Structure 1
Amino acid sequence: MTQTGIPFVFMRGGTSRGPYFNRADLPEDRESLAEVLMAALGAGHAINIDGIGGGVAVTTKVAMLSRSDDDWADIDYFFAQVSVEDRLVDFKPTCGNILSGVGPAAIEMGLVTPSGDETEIRIRAVNTGARVLARVQTPGGALRYDGDTSIAGVPGTAAPIALSFMGVVGSSTGAFLPTGNLRDRFDGIDVTCMDVAMPMVIARAADFGLSGYETVQELDENRDFFARMEAVRLQAGAAMGMGDVSKSVTPKFGLLAPARDGGTICTRYFMPWTTHPSMAVTGSQCLASCALTPGTVADGLLERPTESPANVVLEHASGTIEVLVDFEMNNHFTLNSAGLLRTARKLADGHVYVPASVWKGQ
């Protein structure tokens, strides 16, 4: 046998895409696991020609599922971000878009049995400890993908998947404000370092000489901006207690500008070495929290909602994303939960193959 076949379900989750595996079908140790994932997705090549990756960060994501031993959760969701051109796998972050497909994938894999016309699935994000309640459409006990819900960045419509995120504050660093400050300053740029679902460094677009309304292509071609942004991100990562983040995709970076199309605030999100084509689900929660918190770099860029729950509409490069934020505002902002509506679709299933020299299987 020259290759090892590994069962998988290939899914679009939100505005991302990748293989969903049963964790039991993969190596236990992280080093072997990383080698398998890089081989499966074709990491180390610009278009992932020797794997099933899509040549951009939103299509080189991996979900690994298992039944949970947590008293609250049904499913454990372990995420990996596989690099496109570098042979790197980052197990630190999670991904809310890929999480959109966890409920349907768990049903597809037989890890969850549908119950009624709508199935609630309690998901524990292993990477961060966040708890997410997913409501999946299962009319008559059958998983449904077609529907009337559209999300920016994905053509057409599909069945809605409602996600309620809980326990996401300080999920990576242990603190809402990892540096202890509402604002920090690095290389002359004011930033807010915040950890809600995803640790982020958030700045005003204008402070980089940008409008905040640039297209993905315009931003990706602006290498001077990326160099300045990365320098700020590295310093911020250290100040957030995350150490040397030069080879980690976290903290992510975000830019803010006043809304211009009827939303609450305009945003751009970075992964962090390329511009996200739309918006990350995790990033949207952090950016919405920043927008709602007085004293952050969002001050003066929006008319801040004061009543909870607040529907925060983030304008992004492909349209908008709405985050329903349940919060309290006493002496400071406190996030209770964040709700989003996403979609997912099964694209393929079967076996993905890796060389037996990489892994011989269980």
Structure 2
Amino acid sequence: MTACAIETTAEDDDHDGDRSPGNGWPSGFTITANGAYAARLAGAGDALYAERWTLDGPEPYAVPLPLGQPEERGTQLLPLADGRVLVARRVDGRRNTFSLLYPTGPGTGELQLGAVEAPGSERLVLLPPSPDGICAYAMCVGPETTTLWLVAGGAFGPEQVAEVRGHCSGGVWLDRTGRMLALDRRLGGGPVKTVAVDLERGGEVTPLLQITEESDDRLLLADPESSLLLIRSDAPSPGHDRLGWGVLGSLLPVRFPECLRLDDAAVTPFAVQPGQVLMPESCAVALRIDAAAGSWVGVWRPSARRMRQLAAPPGWLAGAGLWTAEGVLRLPYATPGAPCGLASLTVPPEPAPQPVVVVEEPRVCRPVPLQQAPLTDRRPAR
């Protein structure tokens, strides 16, 4: 399964977006990379607590993980593949503490991991769940430097693993091991460009996405099996972001389908169908559509010429979901009558397209230098 909850990523100040999952719930919903567990802040008013969902059984179920005092609304949660939940709390305006919560008998166990200091001008954000399911990372974002921290899975508590020049946002894993991380970086007052950070080479940075020199280019999702990339860029029309797709390592141009462009609505990808090895055009992509009327679901494949729009289940934790390899989209929801639910949407495959001759526009928007990204055949420095 491939899953992504957009609430776990850090955006630029001018692209913060809506971090609320809607439906009146207080915080985001984050799913492990293997789709087995999820976590969110639950409760009402100021009586908030961590809640872990189990998603890989016959029926989903939730386990509350309350402590002696309620959690703050700014508390960040990250589920691990072993069922524990990482909690990041900001204390005294600059100190970020980390601990692991787990059910124990009738109560909640807590293992304290340590803390990371972040000056007032910086903010610490948990990165999306690592593909290995064991480690957890955070980035401390400053105006000119971003530091990456291993906050769970290490031997001695939080440890700094990389320092990247520039103001970084986003966070997308590029491989299955949790070694290569893509970040959207802004240097000075320049445009945003995605770079690849090699965590096994001391944070070595390599350019990953540059469509034009002046464009803001962000990587939203990546599927290591198919090499499909989902990109947001203003390269086609400066000043106006468009959603596009490309293939990692390919010299083919990034494409910006017109069907992904909606008037008066924002379209954001949140999950890619797994199991489509080296077949990026066949991957089903789930999209969150936000408009004044609310949030609903879009489903699209790069090989298709249209996006299907589907009603979300009542209480959908908007922006969260996962695909099965068989092409079933599973969407978590919570209502007063059903506080832990998982709706399944089966999307029929698109008919095979007829062969056509595609005439490219003179303007070429390439993911340059995507083909130079150090994703294979690399060894740690000796």
* Range of TM-score over shorter length: under 0.3
Higher-RCO chain (CA-CA 8 Å, sequence separation at least 6): 1
Q: Structure 1-normalised TM-score? A: 0.24
Greater strand content: 2
